[in-house]
Structure 1
């Protein structure tokens, strides 16, 4: 202690100490204010409106910002798809009776003409059916002769009317049986005896082949599928939530890895049922132009234009939850200022959420990185 102060009372020393401390604090605050003045931007944070933040340019680069889309604009629903033949331009080839394959002449990818032999089969049922045709024809020929004989006898006055009626009835019976047998045999196609020749019902490409030499074929089982290579559709599996926005004739974009440019088309058919597990429905797309590079089974991705969306949609990642009670979206303004704006939202669906109130079309919002602006918020949508 300074000797000049040794004789002063204690209360005087205490008051002098408090004064010195006050001077030191004032000096420190002044120093802090001077340092803040050099670090803060030209427009102090205190002058910003309530709910606004000033962000440094280098920090803005860490945010993903996008404009709010016009709900009347073109919004697409994307779905996986595959290429398939047009339904009415494809033919299934099957065998009408139990048979066994003995020869195969066509393979998957082969181009065939109408009438070309695809496979040969043998069947005891075919032999029996053709025998029935022969027997029915013989019985019919005999009935024709007998009916004519009875008619001649009646015309000459030596016949009996009852015998004539009986002969005519037998003729009608044998005629019906012959027609039935011939119709059954016609289903067998060409061939004789126990052989069945399966022929192409139309020109096209063999899409599937299940006929294998030595295999048994059940009645009605499809052994070949032939389609028109110049008639391809695209079948998309669309999410249940996107179906209300799709109409017949809606514009469609088809992307295939094998093609450099996307194909254009329109919705031709909407599936009436949903898959129980995937909750998707089949949507058939008619292509505006056929492409020779298309093959059945090719994988594709289609974007269907939604026609009845009246809601403004934003990504779920743009929404922050404040105080566990209201939703906030950060809107970008000039000079890297951001406004924490409270919005009213609908029900989220597949990563997007409709905005009922709080935003305008064209406003730029932070769609990713909002937590960097407000660490006290959370993202729970």
Structure 2
């Protein structure tokens, strides 16, 4: 083979250098991308929603008859005892028709009182039976005959039956006071005999609907009385989200003003939804979720605004990848992993998903760097640049 002359060698080197320069000049520059790292941690699948706090057992005391209400000496926040007179009502003189109406209302109040007494007896029997079952299961648990879960269920049922019995007792007392107030209207001998309005329970005055002296119609609300330390949380969700919630799910109470996260649990899901107009003017079907606090918080009062997170599922020490790095293809989920300055499409299998992270079951390792928010310009094998 004939050796190249000096001129030919110079020309060849010049052509090779020119080709290299053209390759460097016209080669596509790396695509700038955002990146994230695959890490291990705890993943929570939550529903975020607004809610409010309310007193669990609220008693609204209304005017038993029409008449002139005396000025109320109590203020909101004052404590009252069961049977205390909170105000007096001076009814107007009754004519024959009004007397018949008052008699009918007294008879209805008597029937409601009898029904409340029956409910109280039923709740008392249920509590006594649950108490005996709790004691029996406690003895069986100490002997190893039943599981701890069965014993705890029996004990919790006894506690629940106790609360039901107390509520039924209070309802019976309220019905009795209502009956006595109605009966007092027809029992008075002369017009001008005042009707005492008494508190059916011991508690705190939560709200005064009327404070100054004025004429009020029968049934008009006058006072709200309850125990402000017995607080429950009301969270309204879209009905499509509410079906995912289960009793005993964890609830995290945030942004209530106290600076710490309060723990609660779902007590019940109300069976009936309601319509609500959203901020965009769209009618939505929503459902109230009732949660009870794990520990009492004295600073959280009635009708306070809160932000809640309902934990639907939770896993610890799982491999996490940003949800924004995932994209779906016909073959399934994929991510772009960054290797040696290039983006490589890699199939992955995911499990739980939250708003920001997803659980990686297969396809990635801890410490892998992935492209976050991949654009349509990104292709498999393309050079990329990112900031650490």
TM-score when normalising by structure 1? 0.57
* Alignment deviations for residues 249-275 of structure 1 (CA, whole Å, 9 cap, x no partner): 111111134212111111001022233
SS of corresponding position for 2:71: strand
Alignment counterpart, residue 109 of structure 1, candidates 35, 57, 77: 77
**Pair 240,33 (structure 1): closer, same or farther in 2 beyond 3 Å:** farther
- Check the 8 A contact 2:91/2:193 in 1, yes or no: yes
My pick for the range that moved more, 208-217 or 24-33, is 24-33
Who is 2:235 aligned against? 236
TM-score normalised by length of structure 2: 0.56
The equivalent position to 1:79 in structure 2, one of 49, 55, 75, is 49
Q: 1:352 to 1:125 in 2, by over 3 A?
A: farther
Tell me the distance in 1 between the aligned counterparts of 2:301 and 2:76.
Answer: 12
3-state SS in 2 of match to 1:198:
strand
In the aligned structure 2, how far is the partner of 1:221 from the partner of 1:365?
67
Shift of 1:244: 3.0
1:33 aligns with 2:20: yes
1:331 equivalent to 2:336? Answer yes
Q: Alignment length, in residue pairs?
A: 282
Alignment of 1:280-291 (within 5 A): 280-291=286-297
Which of 354, 375, 378 aligns to 1:374? It is: 378
Higher-Rg structure is 1
Task: Assess if the C-alpha contact under 8 Å between 2:51 and 2:235 holds in 1.
Answer: yes
Secondary structure of the equivalent of 2:60? strand
Note the C-alpha offset of 1:97. 1.8
- Aligned with 1:304 (options 300, 306, 310): 310
Q: 1:185 aligns with which of 164, 183, 186?
A: 183
Q: Distance in 2 between matches of 1:299 and 1:185?
A: 41
Verify: 1:63 aligned to 2:34, yes or no.
yes
Counterpart-to-counterpart distance in 1, 2:273 and 2:307: 19
Deviation at residue 32 of structure 1 after TM alignment: 4.0
Whole-Å Cα distance in 1 between the matches of residues 229 and 185 of structure 2?
29
CA distance, structure 1, for counterparts of residue 185 and residue 364 of structure 2: 68
Q: Which one is further off, 288-297 or 207-216?
A: 207-216
| Whole-angstrom CA distance in 2 between matches of 1:188 and 1:375 | 89
Change (3 A) 1:353 1:272: farther
Stretches of structure 1 that go unaligned for 5 or more consecutive residues are 1-22, 46-53, 134-180, 377-381
After superposition, give the CA deviation of every residue in 1:282-303 in whole Å (9 maximum; x if it has no partner): 1111101001111111111111
Render the CA deviation track for 1:273-326: whole Å, top value 9, x for unaligned. Answer: 2332333211111101001111111111111111499xx99887545588xx89
Q: Which has the higher contact order (CA 8 A, sep 6+)?
A: 2
| CA RMSD, Structure 1 to Structure 2 (Å) | 5.0
Q: In structure 2, how many angstroms separate the alpha carbons of the residues matched to 1:351 and 1:32?
A: 50
Equivalent residue, structure 2, for 1:159: none
Distance in 2 of aligned mates of 1:235 and 1:306: 17
